[in-house]
Structure formats: C-alpha cells, structure tokens
C-alpha cells in the first residue's frame, strides 16, 4: 500500500468513528488497573502530540493538500468548508495532517506498552471504563 492510501484510509476511518455515541474500541492491558491505564494513556497522548507537532513542522507539509479533500468524501468536504471558511487552507491542511500523525503515534505508543484494542463486547465484565479523545480505556478496579 502506498502512503497516500494509508492516510486516506486513516482519515476515512477517523471520520466514520466521530459520529457514534459509543467508543469504537477500548485500550486494554490485562495487567493494568484503570488508574495505571489512565496514566499511560496520558503519557502516550502527550508523546503523540509532541511527535505530530514536530513532524508536521517540516516544509514538506506546506505543499500537501488536505487529507479531507484527498479522501474525496463529499460530506466531509462540505462539513470542512462550513467550519473553517476563514482559515488559511494550508494551515488547515497541516492541522488535519497533524491529527492523523497524532492518532498514529498514539496507537503506536499504546501498542508498544502492551495494550490491545477491544470492541465493547470483548471487554471483560467488572472493568472500569472511560471514554477518552483517542479511544476509551478499560482497566481492573484497584484491589
């Protein structure tokens, strides 16, 4: 797969997941309590934000078109135009790319720490859960 295809798929999946009331998945590690999972989530979120910011500051991103425009999703394009009429298109495109990089870096961080993504029906009973911006978390209750 080309890099462009990967980005387009990521954008489309990200946009599809924005409308639902329930989280698309839960980050879960069998050996972590809820509080430990919440702390690691926060660490990965900060790390992902820093990585995405650093990557998208490169000059390369000044020439990229918006991933929303590249996806060809008419509804997303119309929605984008309504929300951001006054913004510079290059700045808006950079922000959209930054969000994609942040999501990917966050997923990599959580996965590297041993977390897996579970659908709601896969989350074991009795775990504490909470919805978060980059996916919900689930963990054992403290003993």
**Does residue 18 sit in helix, strand or coil?**
coil
Q: Which of 116, 64, 118 is nearest to 93 (CA)?
A: 64
Q: Which domain holds residue 22?
A: 3-140
Q: Provide the domain count of the chain.
A: 1
CA count, 13 A, side-chain hemisphere, 109: 22
Per-residue confidence (pLDDT) for residue 105, from 0 to 100: 95
What are the start-end ranges of the E strands in the chain?
A: 26-33, 116-118, 128-130, 136-140
Task: Say which residues have a Cβ less than 8 Å from residue 117's Cβ, sequence separation at least 6.
Answer: 25, 26, 27, 28, 135
Question: Are 98 and 52 within 8 A, CB to CB?
Answer: yes
Show pLDDT as tens, one digit a residue, over the chain (143 residues): 455 444 444 544 454 444 445 788 999 999 999 999 999 999 999 999 999 988 888 766 665 555 555 565 565 555 555 554 556 667 777 788 888 889 999 999 999 999 999 999 999 889 999 999 888 999 998 77
pLDDT at 54: 87
């Amino acid at each position: 797969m080309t890099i462009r295809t990967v980005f387009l798929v990521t954008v489309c999946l990200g946009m599809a997941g924005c409308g639902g009331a329930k989280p698309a998945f839960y980050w879960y590690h069998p050996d972590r309590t809820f509080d430990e999972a919440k702390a690691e989530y926060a660490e990965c979120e900060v790390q992902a934000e820093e990585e995405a910011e650093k990557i998208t500051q490169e000059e390369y991103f000044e020439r990229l078109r918006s991933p929303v425009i590249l996806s060809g999703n008419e509804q997303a394009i119309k929605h984008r135009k309504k929300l951001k009429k006054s913004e510079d298109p290059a700045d808006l495109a950079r922000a959209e790319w930054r969000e994609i990089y942040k999501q990917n870096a966050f997923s990599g961080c959580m996965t590297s720490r041993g977390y897996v993504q579970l659908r709601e029906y896969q989350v074991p009973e009795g775990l504490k859960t909470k919805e978060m911006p980059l996916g919900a978390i689930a963990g054992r209750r403290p003993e």
